[in-house]
Chain A
Amino acid sequence: MSHTDRLLPALQGASEELARHGVRFEVFARLGESAHLVRDQDGALERRTTRELGVACRASGRGRAGFAAAAGGAARAGRQAALAALDALLPAPDPLPPRALLGSSGSALEHPAADPAAQEALTRELAEAFAAAPGRAVLVQVRVLTGTSTAALATGEGFHATAHAGGSVVELLVAPPEGPWRHFHFAAPTLADLRPDEVTRRAVEAALLATTGGAPERQLTDVLLAPAVAAPLVVALAQHLAREPADDAWARIRVASAWHLVDERPGPTGLLPLPWDGEGLPARRLVLASGGRLRERFATWELSQRTGLPPGGAVRPSYRHPPVPGPANLVVLAETAVSQPELLRLLNAGFYLAVPAGPVRVEPVTGRFALRAAAVAVRDGRPTTAHPLVELRGSFPRLLRGLAATGGDTESFSLAGAVTTPSLLVRRLEVA
């Protein structure tokens, strides 16, 4: 039985129930399968295999709309979701896009399932590479995750589409000889793309970069963000841009010409291309920032009806959530990829932030953000003092106007959505 076949009973159960009630409807079902392998410092292995399967319904009629989701792949789950969605109907505009807009922009090939032997081999090779690496950094834990997902969407007006996605992630918890433990994240389309020697070299170098030292004085300064630090910030920026500012506020934001930020939904670049958006509109490239200004914005069909924005910017974090405007497959295009030594020379004086040390915190109302990271102070283009923990603070408008250059060291990450970014050199952010 194919993955798509396993979604059919729930899709059919929901569709039949909703059709009986004479409403416009959309049914979305998703099967996500993931295999996790954790290897501890003592070599102990722990496996976790998860199958997340569920169905979501949106119903609309007579000036009311409702959403509900239920776990499981049987027809019963579909019926439960349908009845709960009908129960959730409240006065609201019709959120469902018209049939004529729906479609698919690409093929829907299934990804191969996880190979437990390959996962185990990778964890072993990583442990061996760490043991042989200079610098006495200890690999406390390695986690390997391989995941695939299949989604299907059907509407009461006869539209049906499927999509497949997949990827692999390696996370390392590393204890340097002194100072804070560090957490590293590497993502790639397949496990074979993650080379243990390269992953180890980069993790060890970064873990040993800032092991001792104090906090710097609070200051406005220039910063060079390694891809691992830039990635969560780029996601937070895109999520912030998905909010609904007043139009004049949007137009007033100044953007540095170095920004070329796109949501490459149809691929081929980026980690997680998909053929349609969270509502079944054909995937298209959304250019968020380029040419010195903000350009397109994320919009669901419902938002597009209220604001006039073009739809096609919906995402579904899981079957449990209704579609929302937001990023899916972010890519920071490095059209003038600057080498690392040249970036340090351009930085001249400031901080190189190498490893994130916690999530990005955002004040949604003000657009201010804060992020902790391990850093090295740079003077005259050369590293000087290590700072195991600094806090980078700023606002998204400042981040948008402060980008001075992008590196040639593009990496992909699987965070709240996929993001691919090089190092970013940003002028005038606060470091403390």
Chain B
Amino acid sequence: MVKDTASGLAELATVLARTRIAGLVDVFIERRTEVCWRLAGGRVLAREALLREGAAVRRDHRLVSGDGLERQALAALLGVNARELPAFSTPAFPEPPRLEDTLPELPARWSSVRWRWSWAAVLDGATAVPLHRPELAEITFPDGHRALTVWPPPLPGEEEAPEHPPVQPRPGTPRVLLAPAAAAVLIHELVGHPLEGDLLLRGASPWRGRQGDRILTLPLTVTDDPTRTDLPGGFTADDEGWPAKPRRLLTEGTLVGALADRESAPALGVDAGNARRAGIHTRPRPRVSNLVTTAADPLPHPPRNEARIEVVTLSSGTLEPASGAIVLQVREAYALRRGERHRPLAPFTLLGTLAALRAGMLAAADPTLPVAEPGWCAKEGEVVPTGAVAPWLLVAGVEVR
């Protein structure tokens, strides 16, 4: 794969700084390419390619964005004559990978595979900061579930057909064992989203004003780490051009940090560096990158004999900040009997509250693993790739509905 070095961007940034465009905060340019292979029965039915490029100009309280990266298009966004801008170039779109080389055998239960490459730069003052992100692999399943990893996608293991058809779980409040993929979604909703600076400042987070408080009985440590470029949310610099740095959010259950962009950082008293954009047409906002969760003293093995249900994956999770209600939509789960998987369960809902979960996380267990969920994270319709590393979690006090 060829990745050109950007050229002329520093000169462009210098010219923009010299031009003194009223209220100019920064200019964001991005190139992105995707290829989606549509699959059925382990065969490729169609291949769709997308080449995107564009720019966004941010001024005080105003964002103007447009597709296309020609000098004229950028000049129109800046409100200057194209002749005032120097010539610049951006990395060429790379050749997409050959799926047949990456995955010689395609699983029959995959609906599509998508590869994504992106490159961006922030022009701020007289500097141009290139942003590098990992190439992504998205797998879609027939039920619409999407798993996100860095490219190449992991080869699937052998799958055993379930012996019994799924059954509805009994309503109640059994102890539930969350596998790392499900635990990652819970941590993302419980710790990640609510510590995004704009939500904290708007009062849309239960953790507003709670810095220094112990919010989980279980001594979990959670770090937002964009430097983990082996995970989908990685980047070398954030979408405002700040160098990527790990940010500790929770230390052994105690709140110690928040995610901030330039706008929210002063009010929160933390550094910026967590700004992300869903694309050129959205403004940067504080967002989760990769949430890495570790436990102080994890059990060596998942405690299946202490739970009645094992949840493998969730299809979604939400935290309602005002009421503290947490709703987890379970996609794949098993009833446990004597520490063994007994029967598969049909999709169901787990309902909890912040109060119940703060004390209801009973234990964490190894293996602590990188997982493909929550993957794409949506906030008011703006979607960014995220990654996670999580342990197994034994949870009480959540209701099966």
Contacts and interface: CB of A to CB of B under 8 A. Distances in A.
B209 interface: no
Given A49-B63, A389-B323, A73 B68 contact: yes
Given A77-B68, A92-B46, A364 B144 contact: yes
Given A48-B63, A51-B65, A74 B70 contact: yes
B15 interface: no
Interface string A73-84: 110110011001
Given A51-B67, A322-B48, A72 B61 contact: no
Contacts of B281: 48, 50, 52
Contact of B51 (A65, A69, A179): A69
Nearest to A183: B380
B68 A74 contact: yes
Contact of B323 (A68, A87, A179, A368): A179
B48 A361 contact: no
A92 B67 contact: no
B82 interface: no
Interface string A27-52: 00000000000000000111111111
Contact of B349 (A70, A180, A370): A370
B401 interface: yes
Contact of A363 (B46, B63, B347): B347
Interface in A358-396: 358, 361-365, 368, 370, 372, 388-389, 391
A427 to B, nearest CB: 22
A65 B46 CA distance: 8
Contacts of B154: none
Contacts of B53: 71-72
B45 A92 contact: yes
Contact of B49 (A50, A88, A180): A88
Contacts of A320: 50, 52
Contact of A361 (B52, B54, B315): B315
Interface of B: 35, 44-54, 61-70, 73, 142-144, 171, 202-204, 281-283, 315-316, 318, 320-323, 325, 327, 329, 347, 349, 351, 401
Given A363-B347, A370-B349, A53 B66 contact: yes
Contacts of B323: 179-180, 388-389
29 contacts: A44-B61, A46-B61, A47-B63, A51-B66, A51-B67, A67-B49, A71-B51, A71-B52, A71-B54, A71-B67, A72-B68, A73-B68, A74-B68, A77-B68, A84-B51, A87-B49, A88-B46, A90-B46, A175-B322, A178-B322, A180-B323, A215-B351, A218-B401, A361-B316, A362-B144, A363-B347, A364-B143, A368-B347, A389-B320
Interface string A330-364: 00000000000000000000000000011001111
A87 B51 CA distance: 13
B315 A179 contact: no
A46 B50 contact: no
A372 B47 contact: no
A278 interface: no
Nearest to A66: B47
A322 B45 CA distance: 14
Contact of B70 (A72, A80, A388, A432): A72
A47 B67 CA distance: 18
B322 A180 contact: yes
A181 interface: yes
CB-CB nearest 3 A-B residue pairs:
A72-B68, A71-B67, A68-B49
Given A52-B281, A53-B67, A54-B67, A70 B51 contact: yes
A99 to B, nearest CB: 23
Given A48-B283, A72-B69, A391-B349, A218 B45 contact: no
A274 interface: no
A256 interface: no
Nearest to A67: B48
Contacts of B73: 72-74
A134 B1 CA distance: 63
Given A67-B48, A72-B53, A320-B52, 8 more contacts: A46-B62, A48-B64, A49-B63, A69-B50, A71-B52, A72-B73, A140-B202, A432-B401
Contacts of A92: 45-46
Interface string A193-212: 00000000000000000000
A360 to B, nearest CB: 12
Nearest to B323: A180
A85 interface: yes
Contacts of B65: 48-51
Contacts of B51: 68-71, 77, 80-81, 84
Contacts of B54: 71-72
Nearest to A178: B322
A84 B142 contact: no
B333 to A, nearest CB: 14
B59 to A, nearest CB: 9
Contacts of A178: 322
A67 B322 contact: no
A370 B202 CA distance: 29
Most buried by A among B203, B323, B351: B323
B268 to A, nearest CB: 17
A39 B377 CA distance: 24
Interface centre among A50, A175, A358 (most CB of B within 10 A): A50
Contact of A85 (B49, B61, B321, B329): B49
Contacts of B46: 65-67, 88, 90, 92
